[in-house]
Structure 1
Amino acid sequence: MDHDVPTTREIRALPPAAALLTGGLLTLIGLTWDVQWHTDVGPDTFFTLPHLFLYAGSAVSGLASLTAVLMTTAARRAGRPTDPAVGGAPVGVFGRVFTAPLGYLVAGCGAASFLLYGLWDQWWHGLYGFDAVIDSPPHIGLLTSVMATLVGTVVVFAAAVDQRWGRIGAIVSLAVLAAFSTITVVAFETISRPVNAVHVAMAGLMVLIVATGAAFTRFGGVLVAAALAVVQAVSWWFSPWAAEVYADAVGLPLRDYVDGVPVMPALMPMVLIPAALLVHPLLTARARWAPALAGAVAGALVAGLQVVQNSIVYDFPTPAVSRLLPTALAGAVLGLLAGHAGTRLGGALRHAKGFPTDESEAS
């Protein structure tokens, strides 16, 4: 039930949750900017402005998580009730030395992992030089750490499912997570035969996230796809513009072959909204087999049509249907599993704060 007047619970829960999501958005800005920089300008140094956005976003998320954990621990030690709607069910850490809300625990671990991978990345560049690729081992670790932080962010907002801002925040967090997943799957680009592993992996993650949203709240899958489209539209304009402006500011030229196509936004599947609308009735059906079937259909569409999207964006001939079918079929298989798993995850998110107790109902 929504409330017109903010409750004590909302006052406690919203600020740290908003800080956590802000950190994720800052990191997303830095990532789209950095990927475009590597494509349009080239190798860089460790302390560039896009990198500062990346690390500042992770720092904001980490500090927000740490603050929430310390406040929850202090309340527990003082004998005050802890509200599981503030970040999720409380979890004892290090033999209950600390008490951490589930969402902030996951997000904080992701932020800490990001710091460790950042140190590895600095060592990697010192050993091999400053590279211009996204799929180096420390880079993949950095991106996976951010995704872990975003998973925690989703849990934090899902714990406030009774509030409108909680549901909206969970949808936005899922969309940001989907945006990050599009660049993480580049790690599979060396596997291209007989299927395009990048497109199959992307389809699986997209179906997983859309199905999670659909099971979490009404029209959640469609809303996640729509929110991702907004992220894609904004970053489509922002990333090439930011790369060019920053290059001019530091006196570096753009590469001769720059075509103006935004790299990371072009990876985000444009077919996701139609796919989510098409399978929405199945994702919300009561039949146990329906989510899996929905995932198979959506997975086939996303995986099979991604190369068509690329041919339009980058202006090259569209491959024959016979070459698209193996990737579409592999996407359907992975999508089937993702549709089932996503539905289970969405249902679990609705219970992120655990089951009601006398303590958790206190405001």
Structure 2
Amino acid sequence: MFGNRTRGVAVVVFSMAVFMGPMMAPFISFFIVENPRLGWRWTSFIIGIMSSPSIILIPLLYTETHHPIILVNKATEIRRRTGNWGIHAAHDEYTITLSELFENNLSRPIKMLFTEPILLSISIYNAFIYGMLYLFLTAYPIVFQEGYKMKPGVAELPYFGLAIGEMLGGFFCIWCEKTYVRKLEENGGKIVPENRLPPMLAGAVTFPIGLLWFCWTGYYHDKIHWIVPTISGLFTGFGLMGIFIPSMNYIVDCYLLFAASAIAGNTFLRSAFGGAFPLFASFMFKSMHTNWAGLLLGLFSVVLILCPIGFIKWGKLLRQKSKFAFDLS
């Protein structure tokens, strides 16, 4: 639905919803649960009430965007108006087999994920960042509820630091779109995916700063005011968005025709990390303590700074050797 000049902003809007939702939900849900007039069931009731209008809006407002199907619908309309039943779109003659359905929708994303160096490496980085988003859902209560002895609901308010940082990261990526569009025009409209990566480098640097800041100041809760680890969220939130948004745009720019399969493979790995990180987060932070657990994760984040640097330097070479990537530069 979005071209090269507008897709970056669209991905920012999508990503801000994906990342800011989990940060805003905990304190809302805790206050709902603590309200004697509501209770825990209303955490689901409210979600159902807010999402139910989509049942009406989606069929009314969403239209088909897949171009073969658009042509099929157009041919159907022309046949109806003219009575000429010989008018058909090319896609009318196409029938998909079960094996083709399996290959295009299931096997190709997994195959691309594990055979494409570009997709695998950037998906690992992307998945780690996504997993860290959900790891913070465990780490923040440990620091603020158990460490600073805040009440449930109040202990989740420091998530606002992360949310504000994510907003700043999103606005930064939108601001960087001006530079990307200018380079796109200078290149005659031809895509150079590596031009998406400078914001990712900025996010890669700020994220470990915020992570180490949060874990080490949060560990000394008896000496350091709670606002200090809260402010660290500005850096971690900025880093989360600064890494996630350019990586998604980079995948789309690299694979174009196969972008849906590439994003599907990325989403598979990213969702696996998002589901796995909370499982060990509590054990990790309590056995290693917040400071050393943060140091381990922070050092791993520092090592991953090599990812955007490597793609900026060797991305074009990797694309030229890929079976699925397009080199239009």
Q: TM-score, normalized by length of structure 2?
A: 0.31
Higher relative contact order (CA 8 A, sep 6+): 2
Query: Which one has a larger percent helix, Structure 1 or Structure 2?
Result: 2
